[in-house]
Amino acid sequence: DTGVSQDPRHKITKRGQNVTFRCDPISEHNRLYWYRQTLGQGPEFLTYFQNEAQLEKSRLLSDRFSAERPKGSFSTLEIQRTEQGDSAMYLCASGLAGVETQYFGPGTRLLVL
Amino acid sequence: KQEVTQIPAALSVPEGENLVLNCSFTDSAIYNLQWFRQDPGKGLTSLLLIQSSQREQTSGRLNASLDKSSGRSTLYIAASQPGDSATYLCAVETSGSRLTFGEGTQLTVNP
């Protein structure tokens, strides 16, 4: 399967713990996006990379959130000192600059107790 | 700030019906509009993408239209099937390649 993959698919953690999610984009895609989706809502943009450069960050991305794409391939999203309000599905998508379609992964569902 | 609204929030129809899902957006300065399908607990699958200069796109039983000046799009599904049951999301692309999504329409097609 050469689609976008995310790991883990599910994560349960206690409030105050740190969590890290990984996204592997489609191999030739130079753009990578992170979105957050809460129950009953549409996804909300968090940030995106072109190659290894983080080009845009949403105001939703508080200081507790950090995303990296060190070699322009896979990306990680870390949440420090998790709060119950962080419980959501975290979606990753990839695409090619100049081509509008974004291809989404299956998501990582986070539950903060 | 771009806002996207989808009506209705939920829709239940018998198999075989034709149906229309509605999407509206507040800022007409968009690059494109996309319709996605999301199955429960899963990621998003792109269905149709309409460029800002286009009026409609078709794929199989699906037809999407775009009226950029009025900030509206519709997704028409012909001869609905139980396998069409899912949440349908509308999204617009504005500056910076970010997608702004509506809240979705949850569709149930009953056999």
Picking from B78, B50, B44, the residue whose alpha carbon sits closest to that of residue B64 is B50
**Does the beta carbon of A43 lie under 8 angstroms from any beta carbon of chain B?**
yes
Chain mean position to CA A52: 14
Interchain CB distance below 8 Å, A43 and B44: yes
Q: Region B58-81: what's the mean pLDDT? A: 96
Picking from A34, A28, A66, the residue whose alpha carbon sits closest to that of residue A49 is A34
User: Residue A86's pLDDT is what?
Assistant: 96
pLDDT band at B107 (very low <50, low <70, confident <90, very high): very high
Quick check: B43 and B95 in contact, CB under 8 A?
no
Using DSSP's 3-state secondary structure scheme, residue B50 falls into strand
Residue of B44, B100, B101 for testing the chain A interface, max A β-carbons within 10 Å: B44
Picking from B9, B6, B5, the residue whose alpha carbon sits closest to that of residue B108 is B9
User: Residue A103's pLDDT is what?
Assistant: 92
pLDDT band at B96 (very low <50, low <70, confident <90, very high): low
Task: Locate the chain B residue with the closest alpha carbon to A4.
Answer: B43
pLDDT at A1 over 60: no
Task: Count the neighbouring beta carbons within 10 Å of the beta carbon of residue A56.
Answer: 16
User: Residue A89's pLDDT is what?
Assistant: 96
User: Residue B76's pLDDT is what?
Assistant: 97
Residue of A10, A94, A104 for testing the chain B interface, max B β-carbons within 10 Å: A104
User: Residue A37's pLDDT is what?
Assistant: 95
**Which among B42, B96, B99 has CB closest to A102?**
B99
pLDDT band at B42 (very low <50, low <70, confident <90, very high): confident
Q: Which residues pair with A48 in a beta bridge?
A: A33, A56
Residue of A37, A100, A103, A109 for testing the chain B interface, max B β-carbons within 10 Å: A100
| Cα B2 from Cα A109, distance rounded (Å) | 26
* String of DSSP letters for chain A: --S-EEE-SEEEE-TT--EEEEEE--TT--EEEEEEE-TTS--EEEEEEETTEEEEE-TTS-TTEEEE-TTSS-EEEEESS--GGG-EEEEEEEE-TT----EE---EEEEE-
| Percentage of residues of chain A with pLDDT beyond 70 | 99
**What letter represents residue A49's amino acid?**
F
| Percentage of residues of chain B with pLDDT beyond 70 | 99
Bond into A70 cis (ω within 30): no
The better pLDDT of the pair A54, B97 is held by: A54
What is the tens place of the pLDDT at every residue in A25-61? Answer: 999 899 999 999 999 899 999 999 999 999 989 888 8
Task: Locate the chain A residue with the closest alpha carbon to B35.
Answer: A101
Encoded tokens for B17: 């019906």
Question: What's the mean pLDDT when you consider all of chain B?
Answer: 94
Strands B105-110 vs B99-101: parallel, antiparallel or unpaired: unpaired
**What letter represents residue A72's amino acid?**
G
pLDDT band at B41 (very low <50, low <70, confident <90, very high): confident
Which residues of B are less than 8 Å from A109 in CB distance?
41
Quick check: B46 and B34 in contact, CB under 8 A?
yes
Interchain CB distance below 8 Å, B41 and A109: yes
